[in-house]
Amino acid sequence: MKHEIKVPEVSEGVTEGTVVDIAVAVGDSVEVDQTLLEFETDKAVIAIPSPQRGKVSEIKVSQGDTVKVGALIMILDVEGDTDNESVKNEASAEAAPPKPEEAVAEETTEKPEADAGEETAEEVEEKTEKEETKNKMVAEDKDSKAGNNDVDLVTVRRGDRVAPAAPSVRRLARDLGVDIYQVQGTGPGGRISEKDVRNFVRVTMQQITGGGSAPVVHGEFPGLHAQRPLPDFSKWGAITREPLSRVRELTADTMSYAWSTIPMVTQYDQAQVSEIEAFRQEYNRRAISENRLTMTAILVKVCAAALKAFPRFNSSLDLASKELVLKQYVHVGVAVDTPAGLLVPVIRDADRKGIETLALELNEIAEKTRERKIGPEVMEGGTFTISNLGGVGGTSFTPIVYAPQVAILGVSTAALLPEWDGEKFVPRLIMPLSLTYDHRVIDGADGARFLRWVCEALDNPLQLVMKG
């Protein structure tokens, strides 16, 4: 029997969301509680579990679709006659679900012969349905074939969309190892020419080598970070494999893009933070936990001020138009360690906020991030990033610039060290800082000046007021 899965009411006020990931395909057998799809609202990413054991018979949505609460998302073929009522309550919302768009073929009328000579132009407006299963089958088939991995054998695509290109152009794409479905055609109706294919290769190569890149055609090209064939690890012992989480996948992509395209330099310095740390501890003795002042919050303020003083550190490089994009705002990203992996929420307009506000905001956002309750927009738009590993340990590290930003500050664990004050050794709390920057934009001397500025501001916070 058929069982309808609808978008549940996630939380109050949430009326719609985006399908971020469909975890099953038509024909898949699913167990109770198995994740069917991931649904992202402006508040959180939620996994929608299967209420019942069964087989997916229809998927009504596709990745990227915005769907309303109560909308039909999937139809499950449930074996036998199980208790359906309880299931329904669990998965479907109270609100009457909007009827899914019923695609009915508009009957194209056949003109009788009497009308011969009269011209008829008809339009059948229908919704294209994606043929997920078909693709999957073809893809699996391809994988199972040995020795063919370099040729794309998938001839049928999502919704049976075919790449509009002449056979000679398709052959050229195959020869160059280009997936023609990624090429944006510039001809009439999006027709792909030989030139489009060659251009695609050129742009892709430029992205890899960093040589004068043109705008990315299709967002990040996933094939950019090609992997060499892996050895058969099981030869040497037992292995298990686990799928990459979405966060891990994105991190891998972002990091390899930055690593392979940005010439980076890391500079080290040490900040004397005895007084600031004493102040912080004193402050926290009086503060309630939400207001707790962290070193990171102080660093956000200091860096925001430094970014105002050194605007090039608050920029992005636009090689295509040979320009430096200088941002008139300071949004500081803070790396947060979460069970799902590293996430970087962004504090907006950090330069215009006081440390107290920043601390409050940072505590709240970090907490939400750890619980994965922030939307992707919170992680966008950063102009500079701070990665504070001080709480974990270590004396120094080289953070990787978070492209398209040009600099990132790494913070290690502060330690009490003896300092010679001219007469005797005095104990000083020293916090090691490392600054990695895009050497295409920032020269070494500027890097050193920026980092020194930060250290001096920490040593003598009056600097902030004087300069910031």
Partner 1 sequence: MSQSSEIPGKTQLAIIGAGPGGYAAAFRAVELGLQVALIDPEANPGGVCLHRGCIPSKALLHVAKLVSEAEESAAIGVAFSKPQIDLERVRHWKDEVVDKLTGGLGGKVAKMKISYVRGMAQFKDARTLTVKTADGTVGEVAFEKAILATGSRPIMLPGVAAESLRIVDSTGALDIADVPASLLVVGGGYIGLELGSVYAALGSKVSVVEMTEGLLPGCDRDLVSVLKRRLDRKFESIMLNTRVEEIKEQKNGVMVTLTDDKQATTKKRFAKVLVAIGRKPNTENLGLDKTAIKLDQKGFVEVDGQMRSAEPHIFAIGDIAGEPMLAHKAYAEASVAAEAADGRTAVFDPRAIPAVVFTDPEIAWCGLTETEARERKIKVKTAKLPWRGNGRTLTLGRDDGMTKLIVDPETDRVLGVAVAGPGAGELIAESVLAMEMAAVSEDLRKTVHPHPTLSETLYDAAAMLFKR
Interface contacts to partner 1, rule CB under 8 A: 103, 105, 108, 110-111, 113, 115-129, 141-142, 145-148, 150-155, 159-160, 162, 164-167, 170-171, 174-175, 187-192
Closer residue to partner 1 in complex, CB, 153/214: 153
Q: Which residue among 3, 218, 331, 439 is the active-site one?
A: 439
Closer residue to partner 1 in complex, CB, 147/393: 147
Helix residue ranges, H only, 181-231: 194-209
Closer residue to partner 1 in complex, CB, 144/240: 144
Instruction: Judge whether 218 counts as a catalytic residue.
Output: no
Closer residue to partner 1 in complex, CB, 104/239: 104
Which two three-digit tokens encode residue 84? 């359906």
Q: How far is the CB of 162 from partner 1 (least distance, A)?
A: 6
Which two three-digit tokens encode residue 289? 């936990």
* CA-based nearest residue to 441, from 410, 401, 396, 387: 401
- Cα–Cα distance, 119 to 431 (Å, whole number): 82
Q: How far is the CB of 183 from partner 1 (least distance, A)?
A: 12
Buried b (16+ CB within 10 A) or exposed e, 161-199: eebebeeebbebbeeeebebbebebeeeeeebbeebbeb
> Which run of H or of E encompasses 454?
helix 444-459
Q: How far is the CB of 195 from partner 1 (least distance, A)?
A: 14
205, burial (CB in 10 Å: exposed 0-12, middle 13-18, buried 19+):
exposed
Q: Between the CA atoms of 302, 277, 360 and 462, what dihedral angle is there, to the nearest 10 degrees?
A: -40
Three-state DSSP at 2 gives strand
Closer residue to partner 1 in complex, CB, 161/467: 161
Q: How far is the CB of 101 from partner 1 (least distance, A)?
A: 10
CA-derived radius of gyration, the chain: 28
Q: How far is the CB of 124 from partner 1 (least distance, A)?
A: 5
Residues annotated catalytic, as ranges: 439
